[in-house]
Amino acid sequence: MNTLSILFVLPLLIIFSYLFDTFARKTKFPAVILLIITGILIRTACNVYGYTDFDFLENLIPVLGTIGLILIVLEGAVELEINREKLPLILKGFLAALFILIANIWILQWVFGVLFKMEHNEAVLYAIPLSIISSAVAIPSAVGLLSKEKEFVTYESTFSDILGIMIFNYAIRQFESDQSLIGGTALVSLGLQILGVIIISLAITYILFRLLQQIHHHVKFFLILALLILVYAFGKLFHLPALVTIFIFGIFLSNVKSLLPQFLLKCLDIEQTEKGFHEFHILTAESTFIVRTFFFLFFGFSIEIIYFDSLSPIIYGLLIFVVMFVIRYVYLSATTLKIKPSALVYMSPRGLISILLFIQLKEVSFLNTTTSPINERVLLVVILGSMLVMLLGTLKKPKNDGIIISDPNVDEDEDFTFDSPYIPPSLDENENETDNS
């Protein structure tokens, strides 16, 4: 493909992605599915015309996915408002992410061991990516929910990303050193590691705040993004949960007045920081859009339809999806005391993180990914299935800014809210006419 062809293709892909995103906002149909399908169709067309050399995708997809993950977590964090009133919601999101994640890993590894005769270590490592909610998909798709439900999805999916990556790296370290996954020494070491990362993250956050104020060059926000990516790379090099740093920086950037102590606030020019925050947020959103567009396009491009030569991937993918859906339904029903599934039950998409961790499995020395029954085709079925079911959930209830207007013809169990105010139904038209007369 020559330069002129690339100059035609790249802008057209961005334009199509923008149209997909606009279509998704109006119809609530996930734009990610359209991007993946577009990539698959482009790959099919390339095969028809004899273009088959696409080895560059093996390195390009992980890089785009990692940068997209950083930007998505950062964008989600800067949109969150932290105060005392939000603490119960934050705790609910964290507990939901933790318990659902652990339950999925435990049950899926048991299923893989029983059905596919996988070794315990292999089953656990394949179960982890399939158990993580994708914030890259969940956060944009939650725009149609109530405001508090949207915040819950943002917290839960972000915590699921962070906890999932931490558990994945922890499991690989334990298995490579031939140690048990659950042990007192290992868990204490992990806890101290997380505590250390949080302390280091706070220090890095303060340094980045100072840089935002001291740099007077007209280009400074991309410098901050570059430093965040560098921090993440160092964390990944030493197997540390560097995504925590990204999350903490985003949280403090949007809530600096309420989170930083007074003696640190005196050292910062808050007005100047808040002035640049809006510009930084716009930059982050624009960059996230571009990176996410090409990641899912290239992921779809890497898939060839001819690989689906049997029904096994579809059956395995549907089985995995049923397991994760039942676990989520049981947890949310137990914690909300509601039997009918709420919109949040459906908000459990798999996506970017699952793809990235599946790619990393190829680098694990004791795994043979070429013969595993859980492969990229199964992953694609799980991703598409979870997104389509999420579409049903977003269509279940329209956005109304956190206020539910009760309808006597609708069962109230259909709604799942967090202390949403109740507004009584309006009077019947005949009663209104009587009052007016």
Model pLDDT, residue 106: 94
Model pLDDT, residue 66: 83
Q: Give the Cα-Cα-Cα angle 148, 138, 385 (nearest 5 degrees).
A: 130
Domains annotated for the chain, with CATH where assigned, are: 59-285+307-395 (1.20.1530.20)
Model pLDDT, residue 124: 92
Model pLDDT, residue 127: 94
CB atoms within 10 A of CB 392: 12
Model pLDDT, residue 129: 92
Model pLDDT, residue 263: 63
Q: For the purposes of burial, counting CB atoms within 10 Å of the CB of 346, is it exposed (0-12), middle (13-18) or buried (19 or more)?
A: buried
Cα–Cα separations (whole angstroms), residue 173 to 57, 170, 309 = 27, 5, 36
Model pLDDT, residue 252: 79
Model pLDDT, residue 433: 45
Give Dmax (Cα) for the chain: 83
CA separation for the pair 225, 265 (Å, rounded): 23
Model pLDDT, residue 130: 93
In 3D space, the residue among 79, 103, 97 whose CA is nearest the CA of residue 156 turns out to be: 97
In 3D space, the residue among 319, 342, 436 whose CA is nearest the CA of residue 396 turns out to be: 342
* Residues 141 and 394: beta-carbon distance below 8 Å: yes
pLDDT averaged over consecutive 10-residue blocks of the chain (437 residues)? 76 88 79 86 80 72 83 77 81 92 94 90 92 84 77 86 85 82 74 81 79 72 84 80 81 74 63 67 82 85 72 89 92 85 85 86 81 86 88 62 40 41 41 44
Model pLDDT, residue 405: 37
Model pLDDT, residue 266: 64
Model pLDDT, residue 111: 93
* Residues 79 and 155: beta-carbon distance below 8 Å: no
CA separation for the pair 317, 111 (Å, rounded): 12
* Residues 60 and 296: beta-carbon distance below 8 Å: no
φ/ψ of residue 404, rounded to 5: -105, 125
